[in-house]
């Protein structure tokens, strides 16, 4: 396969050839019309995006999402690798379940689906899982998380950090002190006081971040902080990195753009865990991401069937879908604001997440011999989010109707063309969806 007249992040125009899933040739392009292959027409060519935080719901909640529909959603958003969180039913707390998810990903064949294993059995926070068995399985799990729940017991957390050291694994913590968030519905602040919803204080997140970075330093192990949302959390992670503690962190696209003011109309579409915070927090997150204190962007793609959101706020489920809008939201919040360049975005959404997780065939430089996990982006086009046109099985996007910049037009997964003209290529039936 040949891709001609593609523009790299450094501005160079190139032609590339793909053979057996690898980049076999990179040449300078002349912008001439091409007779064969794909004419990129100066679209931006970057490595495929890598998401370390998704909920694909299968097994157990196939009414919300499956590995296949989640893979289609990922491809549409420009992702070539996703990591599937463990809060399925049954929980991905043993080798059997993570291998099932891994095989479902292989069967879908659209993106690399990498299962994340649970830290504790049943996500109950009481007993460690057999993380070593999951690491040795065909899924080769390296990230472990009880996401959706915090590993609240400090001794359990310490033992987990010690356990994963044996195979260079990572504990990804959902930082939420449970006693400080009983019945919490939204960010604790002026808005929650005004509209009468139980508040979720920033300290509930920051207390766990502070505790766990100290534990990680003590044990000399690797810690990853999921979905950071507060200015104080950013400062704690900055302090930890200055001390040389092995901590990494992520921010979601929705926390880079949306604030708790949106909750004033009691629409559960804006109900998410952790909650939308203040404009001050949003600015701190943007600056932290630009600086590299926050290492990566991760979607926390959390699909729910319509009935889980079509209800009163307190009865609604926490979560938003985010795979298909992630790139555009980061462009809007970070590139259009001139806080980051395209090279920075490539680092935060492809290179760094692949490096953290050890996905060696993802997030690679566009060079001969590397895996052809690539995407083409029309940076000059805008698009309007229409929840009914999302590839995800669920439609709970907070961005419905919003106009966003940059359109992913093509995706190549290990050299295979899986998205063409923004349409997912269905491998099994050979038709577009």
Catalytic entry in 39, 300, 378, 410: 300
**300: annotated active-site residue:** yes
Three-state secondary structure along the chain?
A: CEEEEEECCCCCEEEEEEECCEEEEEEECCCCCCCCCEECCCCEEEECEEEEEECCCCCCCCCCCCHHHHHHHHHHCCEEEEEECCCCCCCCCCHHHHHHHHHHHHHHCCCEEEECECCEHHHCCCCECCHHHHHHCCCCCCEECCCCCCCCCHHHHHHHHHHHHHHCCEEEECCCCHHHCCCCCEECCHHHHHHCCCEECHHHHHHHHHHHHHHHHHHCCCEEECCCCCHHHHHHHHHHHHCCCCEEEEECHHHHHCCHHHHHHCCHHHCCCCCCCCHHHHHHHHHHHHHCCCCEECCCECCCCHHHCCCCHHHCCCCECCCCCHHHHHHHHHHCCCCCCHHHHHHHHHHHHHHHHCCCCCCCCCCCCCECCEEEEEEEEEEECCHHHCCCCCCCCCCCCCEEEEEEEEEEECCEEEEECCEEECCCCCCEC
Positions marked active-site = 300
């Amino acid at each position: 396969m040949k891709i001609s007249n593609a523009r790299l992040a450094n501005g160079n125009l190139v032609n590339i050839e793909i053979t057996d899933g690898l980049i076999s040739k990179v040449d300078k392009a002349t912008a001439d019309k091409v007779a064969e292959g794909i004419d990129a027409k100066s679209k931006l060519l970057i490595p495929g995006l890598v998401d370390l935080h998704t909920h694909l719901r299968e097994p157990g909640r196939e009414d919300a999402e499956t590995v296949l529909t989640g893979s289609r959603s990922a491809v549409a958003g420009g992702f070539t690798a996703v990591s599937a969180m463990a809060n399925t039913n049954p929980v991905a707390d043993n080798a059997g379940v993570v291998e099932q998810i891994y095989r479902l990903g292989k069967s879908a064949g659209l993106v690399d689906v990498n299962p994340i294993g649970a830290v504790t059995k049943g996500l109950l926070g009481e007993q460690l899982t057999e993380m070593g068995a999951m690491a040795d399985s065909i899924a080769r799990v390296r990230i472990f998380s009880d996401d959706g729940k915090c590993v609240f017991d400090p001794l359990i957390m310490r033992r987990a950090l010690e356990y994963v050291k044996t195979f260079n694994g990572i504990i990804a913590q959902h930082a939420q002190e449970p006693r400080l968030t009983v019945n919490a519905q939204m960010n604790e602040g002026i808005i929650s006081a005004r509209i009468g919803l139980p508040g979720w204080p920033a300290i509930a997140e920051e207390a766990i971040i502070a505790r766990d970075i100290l534990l990680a330093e003590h044990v000399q192990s690797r810690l990853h902080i999921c979905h950071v949302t507060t200015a104080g959390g950013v400062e704690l992670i900055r302090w930890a990195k200055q001390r040389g503690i092995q901590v990494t962190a992520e921010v979601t696209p929705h926390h880079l753009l949306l604030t708790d003011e949106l909750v004033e109309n009691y629409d559960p579409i804006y109900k998410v865990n952790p909650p939308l915070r203040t404009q001050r927090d949003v600015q701190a997150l943007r600056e932290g991401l630009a600086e590299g204190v926050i290492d990566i962007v991760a979607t926390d793609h959390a699909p729910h069937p319509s009935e889980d959101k079509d209800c009163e706020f307190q009865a609604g489920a926490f979560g938003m879908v985010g795979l298909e809008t992630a790139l555009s939201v980061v462009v809007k919040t970070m590139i259009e604001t001139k806080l980051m360049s395209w090279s920075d975005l490539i680092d935060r959404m492809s290179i760094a997440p692949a490096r953290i997780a050890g996905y060696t065939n993802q997030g690679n430089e566009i060079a001969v011999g590397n895996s052809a996990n690539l995407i083409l982006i029309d940076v000059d086009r805008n698009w309007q989010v229409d929840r009914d046109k999302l590839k995800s099985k669920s439609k709970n996007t907070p961005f419905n109707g919003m106009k966003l910049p940059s359109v992913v037009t093509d995706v190549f997964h290990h050299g295979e063309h899986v998205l063409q003209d923004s349409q997912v290529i269905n491998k099994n039936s050979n038709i577009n969806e």
